[in-house]
């Protein structure tokens, strides 16, 4: 039964990952912390899940021609540097029993900021930062990846659209491809520090992600850019609030909020598919 739940969880998060290009750890790490996992273990399992979702997501977006390969390689290279320097810091915090607090504060601060950026009316007025911003984005993503157990796509995607002015679909495909490189380095960095990895659960999560991520990538084309940004903003806000509830020792409320957001997301996707089928039938009748 436990294995089935992990596969279903991996598949669900995989769909979210493929749709938004955010890797999936943004949902899994808080969920594992809420369920009582140690911070380093939660991060490692999230990175394992993310590895499966980012690789399959990269392949899907390659086929859809949504990846700027050169840009992805530069982002990934600087992301590796950020990831390698962050893993020992998290292990040190873990030994002081302070990692969970730091990770939670990072989630709340970063997700709230990016959510605000998506909702901000000034978003379209910002000027492109130029190629010099790419290494900064990559390094910052690597730090966030190893600190929070995420791919970093939720950092790269909005920054690539806001600073580099990439089309959203192109930004998602490029970020998830660069994240594959960063996640591999993150797993290696934690293992180098002596952290043990729960391979059984990690592999089951990857299997689920392999099943779910391509489905999410395909569904992206059904939605307008503005709608995707709005949905992503709400996802960020909900996860941030759930982490806050966890810090307040309201774990049941926190987990319920994440679960509810996932159910609503799938409800929107199902409704979109059904609506497309109805429109197709009407066209055939005409």
| Burial class for 16, CB neighbours closer than 10 Å (0-12, 13-18, 19+) | buried
Q: Tell me the percentage of the chain whose pLDDT exceeds 70.
A: 94
For residue range 133-168, what is the model confidence (pLDDT) as tens digits? 999 999 999 999 998 888 787 788 878 888 888 888
DSSP 153: H
Residue 22's pLDDT band (cuts 50, 70, 90): low
Its pTM stands at 0.73
Half-sphere exposure of 164 (CA within 13 A, CB side): 27
pLDDT averaged over the chain?
83
CA distances from 102 to 106, 107, 140, 205 (A): 6, 9, 16, 25
């Amino acid at each position: 039964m436990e294995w089935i739940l992990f596969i279903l969880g991996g598949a669900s998060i995989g769909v979210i990952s493929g749709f938004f290009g955010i890797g999936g750890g943004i949902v899994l790490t808080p969920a594992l912390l809420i369920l009582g996992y140690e911070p380093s273990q939660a991060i490692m399992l999230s990175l394992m899940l993310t590895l499966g979702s980012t690789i399959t997501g990269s392949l899907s977006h390659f086929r859809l021609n949504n990846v700027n390969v050169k840009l992805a390689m530069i982002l990934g290279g600087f992301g590796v540097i950020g990831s390698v320097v962050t893993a020992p810091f998290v292990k040190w915090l873990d030994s002081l029993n302070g990692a969970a607090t730091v990770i939670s504060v990072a989630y709340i601060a970063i997700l709230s900021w990016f959510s605000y950026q998506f909702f901000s009316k000034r978003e379209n007025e910002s000027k492109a930062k130029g190629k010099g911003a790419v290494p900064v984005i990559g390094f910052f993503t690597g730090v966030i990846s190893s600190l929070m157990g995420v791919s970093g796509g939720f950092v790269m995607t909005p920054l690539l659209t806001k600073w580099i002015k990439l089309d959203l679909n192109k930004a998602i495909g490029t970020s998830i491809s660069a994240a594959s490189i960063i996640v591999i380095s993150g797993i290696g960095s934690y293992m180098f520090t002596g952290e043990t990895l729960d391979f059984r659960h990690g592999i089951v999560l990857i299997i689920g992600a392999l099943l779910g991520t391509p489905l999410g990538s395909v569904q992206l084309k059904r939605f307008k850019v503005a709608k995707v940004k709005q949905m992503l903003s709400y996802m960020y806000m909900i996860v941030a609030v759930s982490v806050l509830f966890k810090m307040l020792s309201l774990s049941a409320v926190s987990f319920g909020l994440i679960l509810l957001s996932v159910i609503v997301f799938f409800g929107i996707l199902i409704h979109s598919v059904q609506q497309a089928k109805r429109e197709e039938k009407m066209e055939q009748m005409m």
